[in-house]
Amino acid sequence: MPPTTATAAANNLHLGIVGLGLIGGSLALAAKRAGWQVSAYNRTAASSTAAVNDGYIDCCVNRIGDLGNCDVIFLGVPVSTYDEILAELQPVLSPRSIVTDGGSTKQDGIAAAKRQLGDLACRFVAAHPIAGKEASGWTAASADLFVNHLTILCPNGADEDAIATVTMLWQQAGAQIHTMSAELHDTNLAMISHLPHLLAYALVSMIDKQEENAKLLQFAAGGFRDFTRIASSHPEMWRDICLANADNLLPMIECYQQELAEFADYIKNQDSQALSTRFAAARSLRQQWLNTLKDNETI
């Protein structure tokens, strides 16, 4: 249902979306609902054309450079493509332009902005909305995707007014803002997002090598389904994340291997006490975390 503007704040701001996928598309819908004018470029013109025809956004463009007059330009594309895209944008930006993103790693995106935007690198505000779904693409987009979810902002030297505008945009989308350095973001996310994805892929990959994996999987149930859900994530996106965040991820893999080796030792030595203590502590921590979510009504 196209958003009505009945309750939207008076807003003369123009948002340009590069990449009308799940994240870019959802931000487009949320911004439109909040009163922004929204234009989009999508590699597959069909999505952006449909979005306009169905009344969800105002305009679609055929070239990234045609978004140059937008107040804020959002990159909803893989971080590995930022150099190419920012190079195309740079000539059409003005000193007041703001460029922001939603990538899962921040240091590499900021580095691309420094390489391509020159003096305008201070107009780039790195951001990461901690939200998503298994589904992807424009058809999965939702104006509510970010409501009550966290968006991390990594100011890393960006201009104050640019940070303020991007903050407002995400707050209008319903997100709670948390600010941290790009370095801390990449470290933290390595542990609670990137590593788990890798661990899930590794288990399914191990099963994939078994001769009768289909037979084996007949006995897998809800626990397996939940544990491996993130192994259904987009392979290229997660390849890029692992490679970009290698410096954080590699030591964490090693740390995890040590953790696993400790558990293996407990099992080898039939150390009942140690196992139940560690399992109980893990369950307890997870429960505390769930209680926090409930209190904050997040996820």
In the range 229-288, which residues lie near a copy of itself by CB under 8 A? 229-233, 235-236, 238-239, 242-243, 246, 249-250, 253-257, 259-261, 263-264, 267-268, 270, 272, 275-276, 278-283, 285-288
For residue 46, state whether it binds a copy of itself (rule: CB under 8 A).
Answer: no
Q: Measured between alpha carbons, how far is 197 from 239 in angstroms, rounded to an integer? A: 10
Q: How far is the CB of 51 from a copy of itself (least distance, A)?
A: 25
Applying CB under 8 A, the span of 6-14, 24-32, 41-49, 187-195 interacting with a copy of itself comes to: 187-195
Cβ nearer to a copy of itself, comparing 11 with 176: 176
Cβ nearer to a copy of itself, comparing 35 with 132: 132
Q: Measured between alpha carbons, how far is 101 from 107 in angstroms, rounded to an integer? A: 12
Q: How far is the CB of 140 from a copy of itself (least distance, A)?
A: 14
Pick from 45, 46, 164, 202: which binds a copy of itself (CB under 8 A)? Answer: 202
Q: How far is the CB of 298 from a copy of itself (least distance, A)?
A: 8
Applying CB under 8 A, the span of 16-24, 49-57, 61-69, 207-215 interacting with a copy of itself comes to: 207-215
For residue 164, state whether it binds a copy of itself (rule: CB under 8 A).
Answer: no
Instruction: Output the six-digit token pair for 196.
Output: 């788990």
Provide the terminal-to-terminal Cα distance of the chain, rounded to the nearest Å. Answer: 23
Q: How far is the CB of 251 from a copy of itself (least distance, A)?
A: 10
Instruction: Output the six-digit token pair for 101.
Output: 């993103």
Q: Measured between alpha carbons, how far is 57 from 33 in angstroms, rounded to an integer? A: 10
Alpha helix stretches (DSSP H) within the chain: 22-33, 45-53, 82-89, 107-117, 160-172, 182-189, 195-208, 213-217, 222-227, 235-244, 246-268, 272-296
Q: How far is the CB of 76 from a copy of itself (least distance, A)?
A: 18
Question: Exposed e or buried b for every residue in 157-170, given b needs 16+ CB within 10 A?
Answer: ebbeebbebbbbbb
